[in-house]
């Protein structure tokens, strides 16, 4: 019997560098003697051009693959995953061979097949089963192909251009958004939690709350006020009525907002679209009223992944500076209106060294990592520094307390200082995920600008180190290319990083086994010179900067938290070492800051213990 399926493949080269590959299947089945009606045909489909392609030695080939939804991996998900947003997100499949320094990507724009794979072995062997109705032509593949040099980064850059070329950045260009992008540390504030509310006095502990935030976390940049659930539904009051019943009503809320503003913080109010207690109320009008009365800066959209233009336009009439952030992860479509969103999936930011590709493809969008149910939060915090995202502190889940541990709070304070002092680099429009390293156990994201580059990294496999077997993780680990007058400081562990020159390239070296899995190397021009005299430090600046100052800090040996001791003018000065209280801490940091952004740093070991 003749096969009724007619397959047509077309390859077209237009003005761009990509080859257009389309595959269509037409079912020509008709009624006949053996079958009174035209038949639906089910057939097995493979794509040998993709699945069986060979680039040099096949044992050295690698595959950047979709795993389903917004998850991706290289070869397998065993070591780490990438996570993006939306489903499907149309990220290209990339096949490459590093030994050959070449590869090819397949950017699938449309397909009747479900392109998701557990690992590279399933990709190579996958057989798709499709059904074709009689008389219908099915486009089973619309794909763009391009050969390239290098690895999967080429495909990622092509995808980034594809996404950004059609993206509307209108709300990201508003001046308020630049401030919002620097608002890294957020707090989910349950307004009846006893950290902010005194039930006996029925008033907010405003001053105490902010003081404790500084001590425990290094302070907050914004707070999300939650006042409704689980109270909604107890009676006929809706979320807007409940705001009126807070201590002091809307005037009391205004006092809280004003106090936050004096500390440079932004304040968001939660909005629950599922609140149907009063169906006659216009939610948009109520939000406008609340924002006008309280001076709140933005709306936190509970359970939502986006919203419509009507709400955006209505609140623009109150102020074009109103910011929208959502609990749900924004997709590329909703991110046009929604300039910030949460990432709280258990398989995403809570595991290191997973990479948030949204952060690298659309760096203007503000992402906040959070995980309300996690007991151990260290990797969540590491991930925020690693990917350069914000972090939401959430300890009171509507009366169910899940506090950050002492150690987690220490890590947050360190993250808080580093990401703020290096926000110039972290906010680059050209971040690079997973730059090549010299070791398989080191994962590094780069955040480069003209005068600085942050290399945020993480080391895996530390539990397998046995000193007796001499498999310590030390030596060269990263090759960089910066001017000769640049130097390298690990601002996470407060170490100067030694270097070596190999074939004209600079290699960074760990001389001893790192004490922690996280590291954060700042590469920057060497502008400070520190001369130690008899009981003094003379600090000199080679190239004075405008609006600069020099901060002298000590480091707590147990927590690695900095304590600010002295401040010098931006052109240098002399420090009396006896004023630094070095009985216990032994690391001294001399930091050149320009409007609180780090421009250079010198680390000295002056105390009782040195290596």
Of 438, 439, 460, 441, give the one whose Cα is nearest residue 506: 438
CA distances, 170 to each of 177, 320, 339, 364 (Å): 11, 11, 10, 11
pTM value?
Answer: 0.95
Per-residue pLDDT band at 271 (split at 50, 70, 90): very high
What would the pLDDT profile of 522-575 be if each residue is shown by its tens digit? 999 999 999 999 999 999 999 999 999 999 999 998 899 999 999 999 999 999
What would the pLDDT profile of 491-513 be if each residue is shown by its tens digit? 999 999 999 999 889 999 998 88
417/385 Cα distance (integer angstroms) = 11
Q: What is the mean pLDDT of residues 284-302?
A: 94
3-state secondary structure 357-385: HHHHHCCCCEEEECCCCCCCCHHHHHHHH
The pLDDT score that the predictor gives to residue 428 is 98
Q: What is the mean pLDDT of residues 233-255?
A: 91
Q: What are phi and psi of 286, to 5 degrees?
A: -65, -40
CA 233, 187, 81, 447 dihedral sign is positive
The pLDDT score that the predictor gives to residue 610 is 53
**Residue-wise DSSP of 396-447:** EETTEE-PPPHHHHHHHHHHHHHHHHTHHHHT-S--BSS---SSTTEEEEEE
How far apart are the two ends of the chain, measured CA to CA in Å? 82
The pLDDT score that the predictor gives to residue 281 is 83
Q: What is the mean pLDDT of residues 386-407?
A: 96
pLDDT at 359 over 60: yes
Query: Are β-strands 266-271 and 222-226 bridged in parallel, bridged antiparallel, or unpaired?
Result: parallel
Of 253, 198, 206, 217, give the one whose Cα is nearest residue 393: 217
Residue 579, SS3 per DSSP = helix
In 11-81, where does DSSP find H-type helix?
48-51
Tokens coding 368: 């906040």
Looking at the chain, the number of H-run helices and the number of E-run strands are 13, 38
96/100 Cα distance (integer angstroms) = 8
Of 192, 184, 190, 273, give the one whose Cα is nearest residue 222: 184
Plot region of 575 (φ>0 → left; ψ -120 to 50 → alpha; else → beta): beta
Compute how many other C-beta atoms are within 10 angstroms of the C-beta atom of residue 90.
Answer: 17
Average pLDDT, the chain: 93
Q: What is the mean pLDDT of residues 235-243?
A: 88
Share of the chain above pLDDT 70, in %: 97
pLDDT at 319 over 50: yes
Tokens 């580093």 -> residue: 418
Percent of residues in the chain assigned helix, strand, coil, to nearest 5 = 25, 35, 40
Residue 286, SS3 per DSSP = helix
Q: What is the mean pLDDT of residues 326-341?
A: 94
More confident site: 33 or 596: 596
Per-residue pLDDT band at 608 (split at 50, 70, 90): low
Per-residue pLDDT band at 410 (split at 50, 70, 90): very high
Domains annotated on the chain, with CATH: 5-165 (no CATH), 170-421 (3.20.20.80), 425-525 (2.60.40), 527-611 (2.60.40.10)
pLDDT at 405 over 50: yes
Q: What is the mean pLDDT of residues 199-219?
A: 97
**Residue-wise DSSP of 321-347:** T-EEEESSPP-TTGGGT--EEEE--TT
The pLDDT score that the predictor gives to residue 468 is 59
The pLDDT score that the predictor gives to residue 210 is 98
pLDDT at 585 over 80: no
What would the pLDDT profile of 175-188 be if each residue is shown by its tens digit? 999 999 999 999 99
* Exposed / middle / buried, residue 9 (Cβ in 10 Å: 0-12, 13-18, 19+): exposed
H or E stretch covering 390: strand 390-393
pLDDT at 276 over 80: no
The pLDDT score that the predictor gives to residue 611 is 47
pLDDT at 76 over 70: yes
Q: What is the mean pLDDT of residues 470-488?
A: 89
In 131-184, where does DSSP find H-type helix?
153-165, 175-181
pLDDT at 474 over 90: no
Residue 218, SS3 per DSSP = coil
What would the pLDDT profile of 90-138 be if each residue is shown by its tens digit? 899 999 999 999 999 999 999 999 999 999 999 999 999 999 999 999 9
* Exposed / middle / buried, residue 515 (Cβ in 10 Å: 0-12, 13-18, 19+): exposed
The pLDDT score that the predictor gives to residue 235 is 84
480/391 Cα distance (integer angstroms) = 29
The pLDDT score that the predictor gives to residue 51 is 98
Plot region of 572 (φ>0 → left; ψ -120 to 50 → alpha; else → beta): left
More confident site: 300 or 348: 300
């Amino acid at each position: 019997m003749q096969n009724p399926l007619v397959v047509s493949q077309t390859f077209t080269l237009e003005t761009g560098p990509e080859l257009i590959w389309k595959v269509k299947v037409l079912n020509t089945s008709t009624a006949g003697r053996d079958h009174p009606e035209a038949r639906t045909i089910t057939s097995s489909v493979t794509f040998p051009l993709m699945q069986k392609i060979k680039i040099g030695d096949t044992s050295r080939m690698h595959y950047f693959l979709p795993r389903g939804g917004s998850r991706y991996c290289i070869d397998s998900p065993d070591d780490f995953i990438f996570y993006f947003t939306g489903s499907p997100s149309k990220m290209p499949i990339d096949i490459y061979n590093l030994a050959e320094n070449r590869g090819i990507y397949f950017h699938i724009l449309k397909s009747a097949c479900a392109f998701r794979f557990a690992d590279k072995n399933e990709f190579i062997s996958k057989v798709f089963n499709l059904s074709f109705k009689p008389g219908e032509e099915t486009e089973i593949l619309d794909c763009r192909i391009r050969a390239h040099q290098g690895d999967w980064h080429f495909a990622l850059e092509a995808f980034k251009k594809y996404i950004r070329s059609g993206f509307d950045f209108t709300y990201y260009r508003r001046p308020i958004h630049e401030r919002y992008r620097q608002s890294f540390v957020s707090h989910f504030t349950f307004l009846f939690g006893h950290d902010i509310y005194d039930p006996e006095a029925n008033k907010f502990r405003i001053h105490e709350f902010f003081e404790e935030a500084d001590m425990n976390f290094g302070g907050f940049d914004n707070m999300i006020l939650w006042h409704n659930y689980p109270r909604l539904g107890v009676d006929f009051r809706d979320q807007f009525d409940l705001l009126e019943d807070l201590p002091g009503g809307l005037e009391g809320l205004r006092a809280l907002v004003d106090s936050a503003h004096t500390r440079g913080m932004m304040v968001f109010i939660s909005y629950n679209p599922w609140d149907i207690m009063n169906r006659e109320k216009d939610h948009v009008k109520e939000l406008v009223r609340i924002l006008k009365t309280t001076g709140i800066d933005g709306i936190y959209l509970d359970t939502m992944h986006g919203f419509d233009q009507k709400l955006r336009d209505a609140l623009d009439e109150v102020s074009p500076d109103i910011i929208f952030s959502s609990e749900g992860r924004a997709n590329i479509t909703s991110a046009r209106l929604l300039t910030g969103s949460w990432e709280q999936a258990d398989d995403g930011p809570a595991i290191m060294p997973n990479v948030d590709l949204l952060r690298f493809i659309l760096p203007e969008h503000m992402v906040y990592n959070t995980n309300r149910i996690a007991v151990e939060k260290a990797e969540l915090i590491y991930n925020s520094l690693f990917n350069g995202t914000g972090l939401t502190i959430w300890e009171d889940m509507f009366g169910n307390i899940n506090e950050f541990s002492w150690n987690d709070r220490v890590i947050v304070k360190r993250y808080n200082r580093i990401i703020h002092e290096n926000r110039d680099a972290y906010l680059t429009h050209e971040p690079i995920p997973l730059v090549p390293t010299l070791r398989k156990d080191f994962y590094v994201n780069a955040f480069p600008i003209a005068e600085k580059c942050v290399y945020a990294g993480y080391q895996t496999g530390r539990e397998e180190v046995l000193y007796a077997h001499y498999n310590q993780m030390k030596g060269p680990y990263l090759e960089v290319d910066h001017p000769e007058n640049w130097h390298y400081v690990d601002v996470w562990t407060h170490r100067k990083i030694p270097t070596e020159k190999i074939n004209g390239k600079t290699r960074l070296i760990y001389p001893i086994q790192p004490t922690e899995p996280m590291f954060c190397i700042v590469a920057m021009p060497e502008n400070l010179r520190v001369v130690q005299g008899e009981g003094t430090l003379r600090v000199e600046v080679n190239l004075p900067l405008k609006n600069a100052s020099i901060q002298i800090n000590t480091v707590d040996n147990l927590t690695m938290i900095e304590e600010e001791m002295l401040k010098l003018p931006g052109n240098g000065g002399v420090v009396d070492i006896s004023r630094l209280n070095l009985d216990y801490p032994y690391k001294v940091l001399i930091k050149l800051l320009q409007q609180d952004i780090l421009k250079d740093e010198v680390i000295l070991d002056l105390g009782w213990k040195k290596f």
